[in-house]
Amino acid sequence: MDFVAIKAAIAGVIASHLDLFKAGVLGIVEGLTEFLPVSSTGHLLLMEHFFSWGDDDFGKSFAILIQLGAILALLTIYFGRLLALARYMFTDWAAARFVIGVLLAFLPAAAIGALAHDFIKERLFDVRIVCITLVLGGFVLIWVDRKNLQPRHHDATDFPLWMYLGIGFIQCISMIPGVSRSGATIIGAMLFGADRRSAAEFSFWLAMPTMIGAFAYEMYKSGAHFSDGSLTLIAVGFVTSFVCGWIVVKTFLHYVQRHSFALFAWWRIIIGSAGLFAIYFG
């Protein structure tokens, strides 16, 4: 009996299952954090770094590709409203105006993301940057919470067109890992006069074109280099991301109506500070 071959086979099976476990955990983290103002990409990069889970080009792409699971969870929940928009956007000005607003908010990220894609992945996907932006973003959330803002807009579908565009430019800051796309969108909307709920809901609407575009562009840039095994890992991460994303979307709007962003702010500060401590003293 070839014990060396058996040992190698067992090691291969263990490694395969461990990779699937990692993909599942990362998918859970992605789904739970994508729509919260805590930065899903930042959390994934920290996990990949400190646990050596994908500290390579595929790992960086994986963090973006499994976001599609969370986005599809959002699309299933908003399917009826999306269908109504598609039906009335050519006959009803209010529907058409909102579609135009979402496109205005999406365009800055689409243009800057396409131009700066390689620079962002090569220079900014750094755990030190992630930790610093997590901490700074936490303090920004606390600052916004403590400002005596007087909301003037209570419906995400009825913001002024200039406001949609302004939110779109603020969203571009989230291309720095650790900032949080949803966090930047929510803060931008609130500073422009939206209440918490409408700001959070518009972050959902803007996530649809933004993250689908990021997924499609990442597939265009990296898809040809994925092996069958890589696609399996992406599928596992996709499913867990979908389930957890669905749960978050169903509960987040109700939460922000009744609570401040303090929980997310302090979570960011604690995780970012712990990461910096581990990097420089661990």
User: CA-CA distance, 111 to 104, in Å (whole number)?
Assistant: 11
Q: What is the pTM of this model?
A: 0.87
Helix, strand or coil, per DSSP, at residue 179: coil
Q: Environment class of residue 49 by beta-carbon count within 10 Å: exposed (0-12), middle (13-18) or buried (19+)?
A: buried
55-58 contacts: CB < 8 A, separation 24 or more? 57/222, 57/225, 58/222, 58/225, 58/226, 58/230
Q: How far is CA 87 from CA 82, 94, 99, 155, 205, in A?
A: 9, 12, 12, 20, 17
* Predicted pLDDT at 4: 45
Question: Tokens representing 99?
Answer: 């579609």
Domains held by the chain: number = 1
- Paired with 153 in beta bridges are 194
**Residues in Cβ contact with 83 at an 8 Å cutoff, skipping those fewer than 6 apart:** none
The one-digit pLDDT tens for each residue of the chain (282 residues) are 454 444 444 344 434 466 888 889 989 999 999 999 999 989 988 988 888 765 555 665 676 778 888 999 999 999 999 999 999 999 999 999 999 999 999 999 999 988 888 888 888 889 999 999 999 999 999 999 899 889 999 999 999 999 999 999 999 999 999 999 999 999 999 999 999 999 999 999 999 999 888 878 877 776 545 655 677 888 898 899 999 999 999 999 999 988 999 999 999 999 999 999 999 987
Range of the domain at 211: 3-281
Helix, strand or coil, per DSSP, at residue 54: coil
User: CA-CA distance, 33 to 181, in Å (whole number)?
Assistant: 11
| Residue carrying structure tokens 């009826």 | 80
